[in-house]
């Protein structure tokens, strides 16, 4: 009979031992009590508790947690009531204090968050509240972290989720934002028109410069052409004079050529002709010869009476 009882007892002890073996996962901690009193804290690894004496009081996760609290009514320094809801990121760093320091840590954090937020917003005006999110977040995180140290909690970050001012103020803000957008639009349009006018003026300036350069080039080329034409005429005149000199023309021939030239000049519309002094004598001689030739021609023509007498 004894050989049956002993294996049973060994089997029961083995089962009891196996049932009291615990493995603590990563980022977790177990708070152990012995006979109702805190004994130790188990961290990651394999542990064995004493049967019927030790008790796992609480299994605590050491991961970062998020607490999203409902909107809280707050009043600014300029007596504007608004609704603000916060999000708190916290982490348990001391399982013993978290287990025995406060009955409901989440409720405690929520109430602390509400009172701290009211104190901070009460020192700010509406405009400062809307534009100072980072300052409010930093102050709340610092104050909540200090207040939750006795609870074994570390507050890593606090964020203002929504800031909801009264409807009248929201309408005024929307009108102000619309006016600002219209103002920026007008400024951008005016700057664009200004830039366009500047570019047009620069284009006209460049066009005027190009036209002036073209006129300058045209005038230079025309003057060069006229100079070349005058030079060509002078060269031709010089060559003609050289040819006359080469054929040894006498003064009479030169005078006759000059007279021919004067005759061509007289055929024009000029009312005044200046005759060189050397040609005046020759011109008078030519006029006298012309009158004599006209007289001879008249004497050779018979009159009417003389012809009648001859016929009779």
| Residue 308, pLDDT score | 39
Evaluate whether residue 308 is within a structural domain. Answer: no
Q: What are the CA-CA distances from residue 178 to residues 88, 184, 189, 190 (Å)? A: 34, 10, 16, 18
Q: Check residue 262 and give its pLDDT.
A: 56
Full-prediction pTM beyond 0.95? no
**Residues 49 and 20: beta-carbon distance below 8 Å:** yes
For residue 125, the enclosing domain spans 64-165
Element (H, E) at 22: strand 21-24
Shared-domain flag, residues 35 and 117: no
Q: Give the total number of structural domains in the chain.
A: 2
Same structural domain, 108 and 29? no
Q: What CATH number is associated with residue 141?
A: 3.30.479.30
What pLDDT, on a 0 to 100 scale, did the predictor assign at position 182?
Answer: 86
Three-state SS at 34: strand
Q: Residue 70 — left, alpha, or beta (φ > 0 → left; ψ -120 to 50 → alpha)?
A: beta
Helices (H) and strands (E) in the chain, counts: 9, 9
Task: Identify the DSSP state of 27.
Answer: T
pLDDT tens per residue, the chain (312 residues)? 567 777 777 788 788 878 888 899 999 999 999 888 899 999 998 988 888 888 888 899 999 999 999 998 999 888 888 899 899 999 999 999 999 988 888 899 999 999 999 999 988 888 888 888 899 999 999 999 999 999 999 999 999 988 888 888 777 777 888 888 888 888 988 888 888 889 888 888 888 998 898 888 888 988 888 888 888 888 887 777 677 666 655 555 555 556 566 565 555 555 555 555 554 554 454 444 455 445 545 444 444 444 434 443
Does residue 90 fall inside a structural domain? Answer: yes
Q: How many CA atoms does the CB half-sphere of 17 hold within 13 Å?
A: 6
Q: Measure CA of the first residue to CA of the last residue in the chain; give whole Å.
A: 217
pLDDT at 156: 93
Q: Which residues contact 69 (CB under 8 A, 6 or more apart)?
A: 85, 86, 87, 88, 110, 113, 114
Kindly state whether residue 196 falls inside one of the protein's structural domains.
Answer: no
68 and 3 part of one domain? no
27 found inside a domain: yes
Residue 114 lies in a domain: yes
Q: How far apart are CA 106 and CA 108, in angstroms?
A: 5
Looking at 101, 133, 165, the residue that finishes a domain is 165
């Amino acid at each position: 009979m004894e050989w049956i009882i002993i294996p049973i007892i060994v089997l029961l002890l083995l089962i009891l031992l196996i049932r009291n073996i615990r493995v603590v996962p990563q980022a977790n901690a177990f708070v152990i009590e012995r006979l109702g009193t805190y004994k130790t804290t188990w961290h990651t690894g394999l542990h064995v508790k004493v049967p019927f004496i030790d008790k796992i009081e609480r299994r605590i996760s050491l991961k970062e947690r998020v607490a999203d609290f409902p909107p809280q009514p707050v009043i600014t320094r300029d007596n504007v009531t608004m609704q603000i809801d916060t999000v708190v990121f916290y982490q348990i760093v001391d399982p013993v204090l978290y287990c025995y320091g406060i009955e409901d840590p989440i409720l405690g954090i929520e109430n602390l968050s509400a009172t701290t937020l009211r104190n901070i917003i009460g020192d700010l005006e509406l405009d400062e509240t809307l534009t100072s999110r980072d300052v409010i977040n930093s102050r709340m995180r610092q104050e909540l972290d200090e207040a939750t140290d006795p609870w074994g909690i570390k507050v890593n970050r606090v964020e203002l989720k929504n800031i909801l001012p009264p409807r009248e103020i929201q309408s005024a803000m929307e009108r102000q934002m619309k006016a600002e957008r219209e103002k920026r639009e007008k400024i951008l349009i005016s700057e664009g028109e200004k830039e366009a006018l500047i570019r047009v003026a620069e284009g006209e300036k460049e066009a005027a410069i190009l036209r002036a350069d073209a006129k300058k080039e045209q005038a230079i080329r025309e003057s060069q052409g006229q100079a070349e034409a005058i030079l060509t005429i002078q060269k031709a005149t010089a060559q003609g004079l050289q040819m006359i000199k080469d054929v040894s023309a006498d003064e009479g021939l030169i005078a006759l050529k000059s007279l021919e030239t004067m005759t061509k000049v007289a055929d024009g519309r000029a009312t005044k002709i200046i005759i060189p002094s050397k040609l005046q004598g020759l011109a008078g001689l030519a006029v006298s010869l012309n009158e004599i030739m006209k007289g001879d021609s008249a004497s050779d023509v018979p009159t009417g009476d003389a012809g009648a007498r001859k016929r009779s």
